[in-house]
Structure formats: C-alpha cells, structure tokens
Structure 1
Amino acid sequence: MTDLRTEPAQPASTPTATTPPEYMRAARYHRVGDPFQIDVVETPRPRPTDVLVQVKACGLVPNTSNSLNPPPMVQAPALPAIYGLDPAGVVVEVGSLVYGFEVGDRVYVNPLRYCGSCPHCRKGNVLACDYATLNGYFGTGPKSARMLRDYPHGGYAEYLAAPHYSLVKLPDRVSFETAARWGYLGTAYSGLRRAGVDMSTTVLINGVSGTLGLGATLFALALGAPMILGVGRDAERLERVKALAPDRIHVHATTDSRSIEDWVRKMTDGIGADVVIDALPAGTRVAVFSAAAAALARGGTHVNIGGILEDVTMSPPRIMTSNQTYMGSFWFTTAEGQEMADLAASGTVDLGVLEHEIYGLEDINTAMTTLAAGERDGGFSNFVISP
C-alpha cells in the first residue's frame, strides 16, 4: 500500500457517538475548470431515515475529471458541490427510524439514490427511477435535480448523511480503502450477474486490465467462470491479469495480428464467448468494441459497462437469428453490494491485488493531476481520498 498523505489538519472538535462536530472540512468544486477548494462547512444532520457517516476513504475514479463537466444526458450538481462517489467509513449517528444499523458499524455508502415509490422502484428496478442519482457524481433521471439538492454531500468531506437503504456492512477483512473501489467493482459484478455468469460460462472481458475490467475478472473468478478471455493493450498488464488464475484466464493484446474474434473462436472450438463484458475506457475506438462483440456466441449476452460514447453499428438480423442479447448495466444495487461484501468475507473473491494510493483531502488536486496524467498501473491502482 502506498500512502501519499500529508498529515491533515485536525477538526475543530473531536466527534463522539452522540456529538459530531458542528463544522467539517470538505473539498468543494466551485467553478468548471478550477481546482477543488478546501472549505469549512456545516456538518450535515441525518434525517429520521438517514445515518451520519464519518468518511474514512472515498474513491477517486478515472472518470472523475469527466464527471466535473458531464455530458448533456446527465444532471450535474449545483456548484459549489461536494463530489466523491464511493465513500466508506463509520456510522456515528443513526436516525430515529433507522433499523439494523448502529453507531460504530463499518459501512460502504452506495451513492445510488432513488425515490422508492415509483413503479420502477417498487419492481426493484431502481436505476430506472426518474429521481435516480449517483450522489457525489451526477443525476441520471429527469427528476434527479431534487435528489441532488436533498443529498448534496459526496465523499470528499469528513462526514456525509445517507439514507439507510444505501448502506453495505463491511466485513473486517475489507479495508476502507478497498471499499472505496466498490462502485467500479459493483458495476462489473452487476453486469456479470445480469448476464447469468456461473460455472459453465465462458466470459470475454474487453478492456480486462482497466479499472472496470479487473473488477469483472475478479468477480468472474468468484462466480466460477471456468474460462475468462481478456483483451487489452498493455502486454505486461495482461500477463499480470493472467497470473491471477493462469489455468482459467487467457489474454490477447490488441496489437496481435489475429483479430479478437479469430482468437476467441479458436479458444472456444469455434463457439465464441457466452458472455462479452465491454469495459473499455472513454476515448477507445469504436472498432475495438465491435471487434469483441463479433466474438459473441449464438445465444450469448453482451453487456456494456464501458465508456464508448459513439454510436455502434449493429446487425438486427444477426442478433435475431443468433438469439443474442445486448444490454447496458450502469450501476449496482445495495443488495448486490452486500453480496460482494459477503463474497469477500468468505474469501471467495480476493481483492488483495489492489494497490492503494492514498491522498489526504487537502491533496485532492494533486491526486486529480496524477490520475489525469495516466500515472497509474491500470486497474491495479486504486486512488483514494482519505479525509
């Protein structure tokens, strides 16, 4: 673990289980293009169905810089804003209508917010809620502006208030720094689950050594996939991925003269991959997306969790006659987040490969610059802000 923190300034008062400080430090984003500022703001108060969490770690994801100036299809929070997508910490105050959580519980806070009352929410499809919002990031629903106002505090602060439905209880063997990666891990895990990955599934992961791709690999192993085919650019990182399970993971560099489809079909006796997980980062050529999609087996499922923003040409007749399914998977539910924690608690998934690079709250701009410069070891690097 690499710890790049400088000693943070101490809060004005030391919190206890019943008396959190009146004020806290927070990294706030005031204007597009400007750096974060460290401000002293009021500590949020939990409502009856909320808890107050003292943040111990919050992920700094590769897409953070893009989220600060989001595309038109999402709703940005009002500035100045406290960002921070993946907070983990300790419950220090519990609302009067919260059941099952107590002061002192170690938790990950799923940033997904939703109304709980609409037809989509009542069916469990909370990501389709009109109020759907990723707290500390942006809103995805047409009514998410209200949710952004109701829950304005992300994880780049010393405390945040969160609804009890968002909490994942963390086992002792999952550190706060590892939990700060739960969002990208969960996105991959949910995609695998939706595709039905199990002990009989051949999985092709496009972008296998990136932040999303590595998570998909770890949980595909945990779900029992006997063959994982990974595609990426960096030959050295590909070999690191393969070393996680040499008998089950096979890798292919995009610089290889063979096409992805030819390689996959050779590895699967001409059948193709049962499931294709596209985990490509933003800015990747559409041709790389299409090349992996072409390796999907008849009856297979393609799940897009990556950052391709351009339109892709598809063949409806081929999809129909091959009985294939194409879907997107954007985030994950708190229930899935708890399943991940349980898999980690039992040792079924090994998250020890993550290399934590920890920055104090006051060093967030340095962390942003380092991340934007590409100074990381692909998906193995885990950038964390520790307030």
Structure 2
Amino acid sequence: MKTMRAARLHTVGQPFQVDEIPVPEPRPNDVLVKVHACGVVPNLHNVVAYYPEWFPFLPLPKLPAIYGLDAAGIVEQIGSHVTGIKVGDRVYVNPGLSCGSCPACRRRDNTNCPAYTFQGYFGFGQGSQKLFEDYPYGGFSEYLTAPADNLVKLPESISFEQGARFGYIGTAYAGLRRASLEAGQTLVIDGATGTLGLGGTLCALGMGVRTIFATGRNRELLAQLKALAPERIHPVPLGDRSVHDVVMEATDGYGVDAVLQCLGPNAPVSNVLDSFSALRRGGKAVSIGGVSDPIPLEPFPLMCQQKSLIGSLWFTPAEGENMAAMADSGTLDLSVFEHEVFKLEQINEALHAVDHRHGGFTNVVINPTLI
C-alpha cells in the first residue's frame, strides 16, 4: 500500500505530529491532488488550542485530524466520473464543502448549506462531521482528495505559494462583490494591513475602485500598503482621527460607497461603528472579520439612511476562477507577498512564524514536497 506523510493533530493544545498513513483513493466524482503548498491560517493556533471551548457550536474534525485550509498542487488522479479536469492540472482546492442536496445546494447557493464545512479546518453545522469523514485530508499532507467541482485551475503565471493565499483573497473578493462594488467607487477597508485586509485591497484595486481608505494601527505597514497605489490608497491610522471625519472631509460630506470589515476578534466595536457611520446613504458594509462583541446598530437611522450590514463567508470556486483570471491578466497583483516556506516536518515552527509575520504581506506556507 502506498503511503504518505501527513501532519496530524492528536490532542487539542499539543504540537502536530508527522505520521505515515495510506494515500487515499479518489471516489468517482473526486480527484487526488499532490499538495505543493498549503497556507498556514493565522488563526489556526487558536482553532486547535481553544476553539472547543470558545466556539463549541463550530464542529471540529475528530482527532487525529489533518488540518490545512488553503492547498494548491497538481492533480495526480481523477475519479471515474470526473470530466473537465485532467491529471497534471495545476489547481487550488477550494475547501468549502456542502452536502449537495439541501435547498441551498440545489439552488447552487452552497455557502449557505446548513452543513457547510471547511475541509482541513472546522465546520458550521450538524452535517459537518459527515463531510469531515468524506474528506478527512487537509493540506498538511502530501496528498488530499477533494470534489472535482471545488477545484480552481491555476495558470502558470500563479505560483503554488500564491495560490495557497487564495482563501483569504477570495473571502475579501466575495465580500466586495456582496457590496455591489463597481469601478470608480470609494471604499473603507478596516484592518487593511492584515491578511484579509491586504487581500481586500488587492482585489479592490483590481476591480477599479477609485479611492480606498485603509485603516490600521501599524504606520509602517500602512506606508507599505499605500506604496502599492499612492494615488488611490489613503491610510487612516487608527487613534488619530475618526474614520468618519476623514472620509466626510475627503468626500465633501457624501461618504463612501462600501465598507469591508476585516478586523480581528480583539478589535473594539467602536471601530466598526465609526466606519459604518462613514457610509453614504444606501451604502453597504460587509463583515468578513471576527469582531467578537455585539454590534449595537440603531434601527431607525439604519432604515432612514438605507444602509446595510451584510455578513459574507468564504467564496465559490467560480469566484476563485475569476480571481485566477484577474491575476493572470495582471489586474490582481499577487507579487506583493513575502513567502516563508516550511517543510511538513516544520509545521509547529510554521505556526510560531505566523505569530511574527509582517502583517498581511507575509505568506506562511507548508510545502509537503520538500524533504
């Protein structure tokens, strides 16, 4: 029996162990992918150490488990019912799994499936455990199986390391689409220098947004962000002036068309309310971040000004294909990332490196092909 190396979590809060396990066989509608890069999610340490206590309603895979959310690699084998994908294709594996038969899935609205699950991460409903059992292989392994319709083809212009960042870029891209953002419009990105925020900035630039008000606390990172498009990116250091005042002054009191909320769980709710108040009438705020405290919005001004607060989770393979096309054409610039690549046996080292990254510019990646 052919075997492979896989980094598995055996005990919550303990280091990952690299084990030798059988290489899986793809089912009829699945593919086997040889992983060449898998992004290390900044929040992974919290997931494997604290999530059972913090978020008991978010199902986790049974241990020992193979994590690894953002995998990119080469198709090694295809199932008997797979068409349109061939051995040798370079792909990103969108880890969003759904049941395939509920009302949402039948509407092709898979991200709203009650059993929606992140392969190699965590789930969102009671049906997640079945999906974990069907697809137990995350990107921290030499091979994984995945549904063929979850694949995003990567052109040669996109490296595997860049592809392994698609999860966070795609989450931001989907959020901007839910904001109905158009070329020439204006945008606030809260937490713009982080992993999600940088993805949102790159996508917004690629989509033709005219002005981006980028908030953050680290002035060095804000300066580096502005250098990507000095005429279009306007840093707003948090703590100096309110986002509302900066935006209203720059837009003659009109406000921005959209807000992309990328703040982390420790960010104060006051930051959310500040940016929300900077929206124009009819503007849309989309939350893809993790601010943990309740957001107190007054319903009467909400109605009168016709503002919206929208939640957005992940992205579809179709949106991934859009991003790949944007990157291949040069409108989505993926050259800004500083890749830190680790061997599979260095998984615990990589988790430590994530805590010391250079904002969203650092891309920590596991490459299981390295020996």
Please confirm whether the aligned pair reaches a TM-score higher than 0.5, indicating the same fold: yes
1:310 maps to amino acid:
D
Query: Which residue in 2 is equivalent to 1:62?
Result: 42
Alignment partner, residue 252 of structure 1: 236
2:178 maps to 1:178: no
TM-superposed CA distance for 1:162, in Å, is: 0.5
Residue in 1 aligned with 2:93? 109
Asked if 1:381 is matched to 2:362, the reply is yes
Alignment of 1:252-271 (within 5 A): 252-256=236-240, 258-271=241-254
Residue 134 (structure 2) pairs with residue 147 (structure 1): no
Alignment match, 1:289: 272
TM-fit CA distance, 1:290: 1.8
- Which residue pairs with 1:302 in the alignment? 285
Question: Of 74, 82, 87, which residue of structure 2 is paired with 1:98?
Answer: 82
- Give 1:201's aligned residue: 185
Q: Distance in 2 between matches of 1:183 and 1:116?
A: 21
Of residues 61-70 and 200-209 in structure 1, the stretch that sits farther from structure 2 once superposed is: 61-70
Q: 1:336 aligns with which of 307, 319, 328?
A: 319
Which of 343, 347, 369 is the matching residue for 2:352? 369
Does 2:38 match 1:38?
no
Q: Structure 1, residues 159-209: CA drift from partner, whole Å, max 9, x if none? A: 000100110000111000000010000000000011111113211000011
Distance in 2 of aligned mates of 1:41 and 1:159: 10
Q: Which deviations, in whole Å up to 9, do the C-alpha atoms of 1:87-123 show, x marking residues without a partner?
A: 0000010101000011100000000011222111122
What do the CA deviations read for 1:301-329 (whole angstroms, capped 9, x no partner)?
Answer: 00000011111111111110001111111
C-alpha contact 2:353 2:364 (8 A) present in aligned 1: no
SS at match of 1:138: coil
Distance between the aligned counterparts of 2:261 and 2:57, measured in 1?
21
Q: Alpha-carbon deviation of 1:130?
A: 2.0
Question: Which amino acid is the alignment partner of residue 343 of structure 2?
Answer: G
CA RMSD, 1 decimal:
1.0
The residue matched to 2:92 in structure 1 has which SS? strand
Displacement of 1:376: 1.0
Provide the TM-score with structure 2 as the length reference: 0.96
Instruction: Provide the residue aligned with 2:116 in structure 1.
Output: 132
Which amino acid is the alignment partner of residue 58 of structure 1?
C
TM-score, normalising length: structure 1: 0.92
Structure 1 Cα separation of the partners of residues 341 and 274 of structure 2? 36
The answer to whether the 8 A contact 1:128-1:141 is kept is: no
Query: In the alignment, which of 200, 220, 223 is matched to residue 216 of structure 1?
Result: 200
Does structure 2 conserve the Cα–Cα contact (< 8 Å) formed by 1:277 and 1:302?
yes
Aligned-partner residue type, residue 313 of structure 2: F
1:88 aligns with 2:72: yes
> How far is 1:73 from its partner?
2.8
Structure 2 distance, partners of 1:274, 1:79, is 45
Which one-letter code corresponds to 1:136 in the other structure?
G
SS at match of 2:267: coil
Give the superposition deviation at 1:131: 2.0
Match status 1:75 vs 2:75: no
* Equivalent position of 1:4 in the other structure: none
Deviations 1:315-346 (A, max 9, x none): 11111000111111110000000100011111
Q: Which amino acid aligns with 1:115?
A: C
Match of 2:328 among 345, 365, 374: 345
Aligned residues: 364
The separation in 2 between residues aligned to 1:367 and 1:128, in whole angstroms, is 32
Give the secondary-structure state (helix, strand or coil) at the position aligned to 2:66.
coil
| Shift >6 Å, 4+ stretches | none
The amino acid that maps onto 1:342 is A
Task: Provide the secondary structure at the position in 2 that maps to 1:368.
Answer: helix
Identity fraction in percent: 51
**1:142 CA displacement:** 2.6
The 1-side partners of 2:133 and 2:204 are apart by: 37
